[in-house]
Amino acid sequence: MTTRTDGRLQRGDQTRRAVLDRAVDIASVEGLEGLSLGRLSKELRISKSGVFAHFGSKEELQLAAVEAGRAVFVRHVVRGALRTRPGVERLWRLCEDWLAYSRDRVFSGGCFFYTVTAEFESRPGRVRDALVETHREWRDLLTRTAEDARQLGELVPGADPALLAFELRAFLDTANAVSLLEDDRDAPYAMARTAVTARLDALAPPDSPRPWAGRPSAEAG
């Protein structure tokens, strides 16, 4: 009995993962409104009742997709950076890994959150609330990392961590948007990397470490 129960649970987990893997990729291109239990059931050849059993409604599916997208983002952008030294090295790594995450099309539509945030930014509700939370997590991580760099003397005392985080996100999001619009995986990311480098250079004291110096450009992969 235990073996049969464990087997069913394992198959259920596999089904849920398969559905969410496909859901986040669709949403990165078409938005969360492009998701439906029927569509996922048909594409994955899973019974609609089986898909419904895991999510129950379209909104629950959308919320699960946001959480799944967040997990992918953390794995590709955040986790490696948190293993590096606090300060400008970590700040630089966050930007580099974000550019690679978008450029390498971890999601078919580039940054998952860029697409779905534009879709829900003026639509109150649970999905928007979940997106606001993930947005704040990313913003706050960049801000805290910039503040650490300032406290370590790796940014000038007058540097504004919140403003720097805003500027860096603007460079990254613009690279993602232009790359998708113009179908160009080279120039937008190279320009974003140059912009990030110039901004950090301008705020770094002369004797501060510069982990971006002598590194290959983002498009080199």
Q: For 119-172, how does the pLDDT look when each residue is reduced to its tens digit (9 = 90+)?
A: 999 999 999 999 999 999 999 999 999 999 999 999 999 999 999 999 999 999
Q: Look at residue 217 in the predicted model and tell me its pLDDT.
A: 43
Taken in order 120, 123, 126, 132, the sign of the CA dihedral is positive
More confident residue, 75 or 36: 75
Q: Rounded distance, CA 137 to CA 78, Å?
A: 11
Residues 6 or more apart in contact with residue 146 via CB below 8 angstroms: 91, 155, 159, 161, 162, 164, 165
* pTM of the predicted structure, to 2 decimals: 0.87
Q: Look at residue 71 in the predicted model and tell me its pLDDT.
A: 96
Q: Look at residue 60 in the predicted model and tell me its pLDDT.
A: 92
Sequence letter at residue 61: L
Which domains occur in the chain, in start order? Answer: 66-220 (1.10.357.10)
Q: Look at residue 14 in the predicted model and tell me its pLDDT.
A: 82
